[in-house]
Amino acid sequence: MALGSGSCPKSPARKRRRRRCRPYECFSIFSAARGRCDMERDRRRRLAKDLADRVARSRKDVVAVVLFGSVARGDDGPDSDVEMTAVVRRGGHEAQRFVLGGVLFNVYWSSAAGVRRHMLEADGDATRHGFLDGIALYDPHGWFARLRGEVANLPASFYRQSAEDALHQMYEYVCKARNAKRRGDDRNVVYATGVIGASARVVLALVNRRHYTSENTMTAEWRTFSDIPRNFGRYLAPLVAERASIERRYESAIALWRLTRVWAARRGIRLKEVRSLREVRIPKTT
């Protein structure tokens, strides 16, 4: 096929048979296969809408059906999955998965109260609010819009508590990295330092009162934040590099931990340290 001919390769014996274009064809600026990938994208959207309609008809207690992730954002690739949440009045959380025409569907059944709790309770997670960038395929009473409004008005204490939680999670993996380094366990050094890098970006987002669009955007999206400690990118780089040495990864992770801890402390976010067990608060029965 000539460069820029604007078509996907086809077998002469099967000219009428449609097939998916390969990923490199979809992203090539020279190929009209990108148009066919747009068709795949439209097909996923249509299937999602059809499924949402079926869900809404199947139960009387359906509050909303929300499409989220890359398909909702419109940046899905040839092999992207479809992620949807069916919000119902009652019931626990249940994940339903199936493959239709080669496309993986993930349908999460959750109660309205459970989704609200997940969105509004402080937690060391800076990616969950990416759900709110989704599209309500079914929402007759505006439940999804109201949830967005509630999240937009979260108090500063929510982000402070969430950042503190993330800082403690980061410290957990600093300790794991230290233990692995002492044992000469290189594989776990790599694993733990990778988590340290991810945790540092979570702390960074929450202190800035921001959330990542998705886990896939954490690599670069942190650069858009207004408050970033000096040398953050320098210490982070070896933790996301494929060929950094064990020594460099470890030293960079410890340096990133120290930098993040001091930077967060200056903004009121610290590890909760106690001098004795008497200072530990025992939660009351709910």
* Concatenated DSSP letters of 193-222: HHHHHHHHHHHHHHHTT---S-GGGHHHHG
Number of helical H runs and strand E runs in the chain: 10, 5
Ordered structural domains, the chain, with CATH: 46-152 (3.30.460.10), 156-265 (1.20.120.330)
Pure H helices in 62-139: 70-73, 112-120
Each of the 286 residues of the chain gets a pLDDT tens digit; together they read 343 444 444 444 444 444 444 443 443 333 344 444 566 888 889 999 999 999 999 999 999 999 999 999 988 888 889 999 999 998 888 999 999 888 899 999 999 999 999 999 999 999 989 899 999 999 999 999 999 999 999 999 999 999 999 999 999 999 999 999 999 999 999 999 999 999 999 999 999 999 999 888 899 999 999 999 999 999 999 999 888 999 999 999 999 999 999 999 999 999 999 889 988 888 886 5
Mutual angle of helices 232-240 and 246-265, in 10-degree steps? 140
Element (H, E) at 232: helix 232-240
How far apart, in Å, are the Cα atoms of 133 and each of 124, 145, 245, 278? Answer: 19, 11, 38, 44
Task: Tell me the C-alpha distance between 112 and 110, whole Å.
Answer: 6
Q: What does pTM read for this prediction?
A: 0.79
User: Considering all CA atoms of the chain, what is the largest pairwise distance in Å, rounded to the nearest integer?
Assistant: 79
Q: Are strands 103-111 and 82-88 parallel, antiparallel or unpaired?
A: parallel
